Chains A and B, each alone.
Chain A
Amino acid sequence: MTLIDIATSSGATGEGTAYLDAATGQVRVRPGAITTADIGTLAGAAVGALGLVWLVYERIMPWSGALGFWLCWYVMFLVFYWGIARTQWEARHVREKLAAAMFTGAGVFVLVVLVDLIAYVGWRGEKAIGHGNFLTTDMQKTGPLDGLNSGGILHAMIGSLEQLGLATLFAVPLGIAAAVFMSEIGGRLARPVRTVVTAMTALPSIVAGLFVLGSVILTLGYDRSGFAASLALTVMMMPIVTRAAEVVIRIVPNTLREASYALGGSQWRTVWNVVLPTARSGLTTAVLLGMARAVGETSPVLLTAGFSSGKNSNPFSGQQVSLPLYVWNYVRYPQENMKIRAFGGALVLMAIVMILFVAARMAGGRRPGELSRRRRRQMARDRVRIAATHPARPQAPAVTPAPTAAAIIHPEPEPAS
């Protein structure tokens, strides 16, 4: 396989590679391939810009700072890239390349920020996670000066999972019911409901906390607890689940609803058996969005759950800490070990979110076309059953003899009768 750069042969565009296919003797061209000229231009611009910016920063101007350095580098890179590309390709083609470079740059920037964030938390928290006691003990007997081999986040993990579980239990049925109301039943009330729900998605989380504090704790006299926190989280979750669920229920084709009604289905059965199962994958996403919002909330939990340094597995009685609250509390300590514990808590929080997402995707995210394991087992049973009853059992009555496989593939012309 000899690689021939066709940039030279095909002139101005500089796109694609070609090579001689030894087996057939044909020259195979990949018009979309990245050529050495593409890579050379990119690398040249990057290195050239780096050199110039380094010179300016380190030798000529009294500037310093990584952020400014890389910002200047990116701008210079784009200028260099344009300049180098312009010497080889025509203007329109260069504009396209430049736009692609800018968008790729934006994407890479977002990725770098995200990876940096996770890496920083991981780097700071890693020292805490390294100790086995971190995941298995609480902070009951641990003081600020104790080493990392004492204390942990077990109580906060329990609190987070219980509060999130309860909030999901409350918010998901409510949210999906509201979405079904807006999209399937509708009527005059649907508009105000939608407006209120939309407004609630932008509700500052501290207000949700204050609402539960005022109504449940101060007015009804209920103690601060995991349950009260889960109510505040429900207020945060429900509008998000509702809005997202409404969107995915709306995109269920109307022809499916018609088909269900035409079979004698009532509206309730149509929603339950046709609309919701068809939208299942999207509904999973809706639930995930809500859970992602709720699991990281600190301020409503701060007002409603209280704080405890010991383990409290009962969400209905006694104060209960959750992971965000744990992080918020310990990161303010001056002692380095406490800060490390807080970052360890943040790392575990991220891990829990990821595990939840993966689990939910596996449970509900299957595309409508894919077969579940249960379906495959049923299919195997069907084969056995059909093999047992056929061909001993005659085909159901038909005017024409039952078509054979061959007849289906090559139907013979027959007189219409």
Chain B
Amino acid sequence: MTEIEEHGGVATASAADAPTEQLPPVPPGPGSAAGPDGDGAVGRLSSLETRDLSAWFGDHKVLERVSLTMAPGEVTALIGPSGCGKSTYLRILNRMHEMVKSAQLAGQVLLDGADIYSPGRRPADIRARVGMVFQRPNPFPAMSIYDNVVSGLKLAGIRANKARRDELVETSLTQAGLWIEVRNRLRAPGGALSGGQQQRLCIARSLAVEPDVLLMDEPCSALDPTSTRRVEETIADLRGRLTIVIVTHNMQQAARVSQSCAFFLATHDTPGRIVEAGPTRQLFEDPQDERTSDYVNGRFG
């Protein structure tokens, strides 16, 4: 921590102009809930908010009073160095945090204003509304591409007739940008696809249960640049249709895909907390905090 602050004084001098040269244009209008493309907005969009959220693994505190609002229909990026608690934060948002036995938390997670941790709410129902895409593509190897896409129905115990399933497979795969590539081999095993295709299959699988929110935990970190581009295009397509929260180590990616951004930071003796959050453009071009400026300009982390 002290090192960062020492460098910080030097860093800020150049920080103001540095990002503008390397950043691609950032889409305008964070805060406008409908999103830029009105055509894709179907149904209502859900908002997600955390209030004073803290988390522990056993006695080890990993998050300290995180308050953040993720606007409906927007892409919110969580950035920060490894071990700053952003993945934990993401897993709290769909109750995957409690899969670890020693996990505890305090504070509120509000999905459309209602706390998802209030007593009586079933984790499975929350997870069906808040989907998740993982770091490593994990299609079910025993299932075909087709079955992978509709696996959410089976797992959640939703019955659907054949025509409905066919339609769902097509729309989900189209939304995930994979339909054209796989439509002639839908019964081939999901594991036979390339890494990038597998990840888009996982996105399609999450979309097939028609979630209100999609969480993505470093979805491109195991992919090559071309596949990364395809996944980013998919995220751009999905914007405005559902609320997306993405954790990424790649700051260019955060700048490309997100409208809002939150910078997490932890040190060896303090738990992770949000240093700065706001519109992505502001965070990258005019960060208010020295540490944010250092991080987005690649001076640490």
Question: CB within 8 A of A378: which of B131, B151, B187?
Answer: B187
Find residues 345-385 in chain A having any chain B CB closer than 8 Å to their own CB: 368-371, 375-376, 378-379, 382-383, 385
Query: Is A264 touching B127 in the complex (CB atoms < 8 A)?
Result: yes
Query: Is B25 touching A416 in the complex (CB atoms < 8 A)?
Result: yes
A411 within 8 A of B: yes
B157 within 8 A of A: yes
Contacts of B138 in A (CB 8 A): 253, 255-256, 258-259
Contacts of A375 in B (CB 8 A): 144, 187
Question: CB within 8 A of B237: which of A258, A399, A416?
Answer: A399
Contacts of B185 in A (CB 8 A): 379
A265 within 8 A of B: yes
B299 within 8 A of A: no
Contacts of B189 in A (CB 8 A): 368-371
A interface footprint on B161-195 (CB within 8 Å = 1, 0 otherwise): 00000100011001101011101111111011000
Query: Is B154 touching A269 in the complex (CB atoms < 8 A)?
Result: yes
A378 to B256, CA, bound (A): 40
A242 within 8 A of B: no
Contacts of B131 in A (CB 8 A): 262-263
- Closest Cβ of chain B to A386, distance in Å, is 5
A386 to B146, CA, bound (A): 13
A395 within 8 A of B: yes
Contacts of A416 in B (CB 8 A): 24-25, 27, 232, 236, 256-257
Contacts of B166 in A (CB 8 A): 385
B21 within 8 A of A: no
- Closest Cβ of chain A to B289, distance in Å, is 25
Known contacts A395-B174, A399-B237, A403-B180; is-contact A263 B127 (Cβ 8 Å): yes
- Chain A interface residue number, banded: 35 or more
A interface footprint on B217-250 (CB within 8 Å = 1, 0 otherwise): 0000000001001101100110100000000000
Q: Name the CB-closest residue of B to A398.
A: B237
- Closest Cβ of chain A to B19, distance in Å, is 15
A411 to B234, CA, bound (A): 13
Known contacts A277-B143, A378-B187, A379-B185; is-contact A259 B202 (Cβ 8 Å): yes
A397 within 8 A of B: yes
B136 within 8 A of A: yes
Q: Name the CB-closest residue of B to A395.
A: B174
A8 to B192, CA, bound (A): 47
Question: CB within 8 A of B187: which of A262, A278, A371?
Answer: A371
A385 to B96, CA, bound (A): 38
B134 within 8 A of A: yes
B40 within 8 A of A: yes
Question: CB within 8 A of B180: which of A265, A277, A370, A408?
Answer: A408
B interface footprint on A250-291 (CB within 8 Å = 1, 0 otherwise): 000101101111111110011001100110100000000000
A369 to B183, CA, bound (A): 18
Q: Name the CB-closest residue of B to A386.
A: B183
Query: Is B170 touching A397 in the complex (CB atoms < 8 A)?
Result: no
- Closest Cβ of chain A to B121, distance in Å, is 13
Contacts of A265 in B (CB 8 A): 124, 152, 155-156
Question: CB within 8 A of B127: which of A255, A261, A404?
Answer: A261
B84 within 8 A of A: no
A interface footprint on B38-60 (CB within 8 Å = 1, 0 otherwise): 01100000000000000000000
A104 within 8 A of B: no
A400 within 8 A of B: yes
- Closest Cβ of chain B to A285, distance in Å, is 16
A417 within 8 A of B: yes
A264 to B94, CA, bound (A): 10
Query: Is A397 touching B40 in the complex (CB atoms < 8 A)?
Result: yes
Known contacts A278-B142, A385-B166; is-contact A263 B156 (Cβ 8 Å): yes
Known contacts A264-B209, A402-B180; is-contact A368 B191 (Cβ 8 Å): yes
Known contacts A408-B181, A415-B25; is-contact A400 B233 (Cβ 8 Å): yes
- Closest Cβ of chain A to B279, distance in Å, is 16
- CB within 8 Å of A: which residues of B? 24-25, 27, 37, 39-40, 94, 96, 99, 123-125, 127-128, 131-132, 134, 136, 138, 140-144, 146, 151-152, 154-157, 166, 170-171, 174-175, 177, 179-181, 183-189, 191-192, 202, 205-206, 209, 226, 229-230, 232-233, 236-237, 239, 256-257
- CB within 8 Å of B: which residues of A? 253, 255-256, 258-266, 269-270, 273-274, 277-278, 280, 368-371, 375-376, 378-379, 382-383, 385-386, 390, 395-400, 402-405, 408, 411, 415-417
Can you name 16 extra interface pairs (CB under 8 A) apart from A370-B189, A379-B188? A256-B140, A258-B99, A258-B134, A259-B138, A262-B134, A263-B131, A263-B209, A264-B155, A265-B156, A280-B142, A368-B142, A371-B188, A398-B174, A400-B233, A416-B24, A417-B27
13 interchain pairs, CB-CB under 8 A? A256-B141, A259-B140, A261-B127, A269-B156, A278-B142, A369-B141, A379-B188, A382-B183, A397-B40, A399-B237, A403-B177, A405-B180, A416-B236
| Top 6 closest pairs, chain A to chain B, by CB | A264-B128, A265-B155, A277-B142, A396-B174, A262-B132, A379-B187
